[in-house]
Amino acid sequence: MKEISELNFPDDLKYAGNHEWSKLDNDEVTIGICDYAQDQLGDVVFVELPQVGDTFDKGQEFGTVESVKAVSELFIPLSGEVTGVNENLEDTPELVNNEPYTGGWMIKIKPADVSEMDGLMMKDAYLDMLKG
């Protein structure tokens, strides 16, 4: 596992306490897990994602991510309806490790209330949380 200083956290994303990142583009929010989360999990071997059209309330479990010997739940940082899932992860789950912010994105949602984005952390606040 890496030191926090060795990890990458883009400035233009919002972070949740459960280590998911969110990015707002027009009316759609893309969600994935951050560099810290993928590093903690180790080699990701499987990602279980919801179906387009499923709706979730903020904080609900929307899927799981598996490494060889662990399963972790994924919690949605804001409420909304799933508008897209990253189907590439089915065959290449390693994208979560290799490109957590680009090719490793997990779902896109249409948020129920965009203002929920304001409740998420900016990079600095998130880093402070990690450093405890």
Partner 1 sequence: MKNAVGTTGLILNEPLLWKIGKKGRSGFSLPRRDIDLSPLDSALEGQGPDFPDLSEVDVVRHYTRLSTWNFGVDTGMYPLGSCTMKYNPKTNERQASLPGLAQAHPLLPPQLAQGTLKIMYDLERYLAEVTGLPAVTLQPAAGAQGELTGMLIFYAFHKRKHQKRSKILIPDTAHGTNPASAALCGYKSIPVNSNKEGILDPETVAGQMDEDTAGIMITNPNTLGLFEDNIRQVAAIVHAKGGLVYADGANMNAVMGIVNMADLGVDVLHLNLHKTFSTPHGGGGPGSGPVCVTREIEPFLPVPRVIRHEDQYRLSDDRPESIGKIHAFYGNFGIQIRAYAYILSMGADLKKASQFAVLSANYIKERLKGVYHLPYDKPCMHECVFTDKHQQQYKVTTLDIAKRLIDYGFHPPTIYFPLVVQGAIMVEPTETEPKENLDQLVDALISIAAEAAEKPERLRKAPVNPKVRRLDETTAARKPCLAG
Partner 2 sequence: MRYLPHTDDDVAQMLATIGANSLEDLFASIPADCLRKDDLDLPGAMTEWELNKHMERLASEMAVCPEYLVFMGAGSYDHYIPEAVKQLLARSEFLTSYTPYQPEVSQGTLQAIYEYQTLTTRLLGLDVANASMYDGASGLAEALLMAVRVTRRKKIYISSLCHPLYRQVVRTYFEPTGYDIVELPYLKNGRTDLSQVTDLDACAGIAIQSPNFFGCIEDIESLAKKVHADPKTMLVVSFTEPLAYGLLKSPGSLGADIACGEGQSLGIPRSFGGPGLGMFAAKKAYLRNMPGRLVGQTKDLDGRRGFVLTLSTREQHIRREKATSNICSNQGLCATAAAMYMAALGGTGIRELACLNRDKSAYLKGALAHAGFDTPFSAPTFNEFVVRFPGDSPETYGRLISKKIVAGLPLVSYYPELKNHYLLCVTETMDREDMDLLVKEVTS
- Contact residues: partner 2, CB under 8 A: 45-46, 48, 66-71
> Does 66 engage in binding with partner 1 (CB under 8 A)?
yes
Among 46, 58, 79, 123, binds partner 1 (CB under 8 A): 46
Among 77, 93, 100, 111, binds partner 1 (CB under 8 A): 93
Burial 93-108 (b: 16+ CB within 10 A, else e): bebbbeebbeebbbbb
Q: To the nearest whole angstrom, how small is the minimum distance from the Cβ of residue 39 to partner 1? A: 15
- Three-class SS state of 114: helix
Number of C-beta neighbours around residue 49 at 10 A: 20
Look up tokens 């990142």; give the residue.
21
Nearest to 32 by CA among 17, 20, 45: 20
> Does 61 engage in binding with partner 1 (CB under 8 A)?
no
**What distance in Å separates the CA atoms of residue 123 and residue 81, rounded to the nearest whole number?**
25
Q: To the nearest whole angstrom, how small is the minimum distance from the Cβ of residue 38 to partner 2? A: 16
State the binding partner of 94 from partner 2, partner 1, none, CB within 5 to 8 A by kind.
partner 1
> Does 77 engage in binding with partner 1 (CB under 8 A)?
no
- Which amino acid, residue 102? T
Footprint of partner 1 (CB under 8 A)? 43, 45-46, 66, 68, 93-94
